[in-house]
Amino acid sequence: MIRVDRVALRGLKARGHHGVFPREREEGQTFIVDLVLSLDTRPAAADDDLAKTVHYGVVAEEVVAVVEGEPVDLIETLAERIARTCLKHDGVQEVEVVVHKPDAPITVPFDDVTITITRSRV
């Protein structure tokens, strides 16, 4: 059994206009994204070659662009879009996406709202 390796990006921050309420769409808010990309890093390590792994700087920029892009109602939809973006990278076999919405419009005290999804190529 071959286990995959994981590259994690934590705390990517971007301002988006996602939500079901007009105020969320108009004013926007900060979203935070955590990613765990599953892939086999052995070829990259053997040759010390960036082209044989995932370029996490590029992934980070693409994910921020998704958050800053076209608004959606649900963070579930946003997480799905982020997962699809990550899986477009060769070698990424699976991705775990956590979208944090710390400023969600909730009327009681809270620390955070998150959605966590896992998607794979198969």
Distances (CA, A) of 101 to 9, 70, 81: 17, 17, 16
14 three-state secondary structure: strand
Residues marked as catalytic: 101
107-112: Cβ within 8 A, 24+ apart: none
- pLDDT, averaged across the chain: 96
User: Residue 23 pairs with which residues in a beta bridge?
Assistant: none
pTM over 0.85: yes
Whole-number pLDDT of residue 4? 87
pLDDT value of position 2: 60
pLDDT digits (tens, 9 = 90+) for 64-120: 999 999 999 999 999 999 999 999 999 999 999 999 999 999 999 999 999 999 999
101 — phi, psi (to 5°)? -130, 75
The 8-class DSSP code of residue 57 comes to H
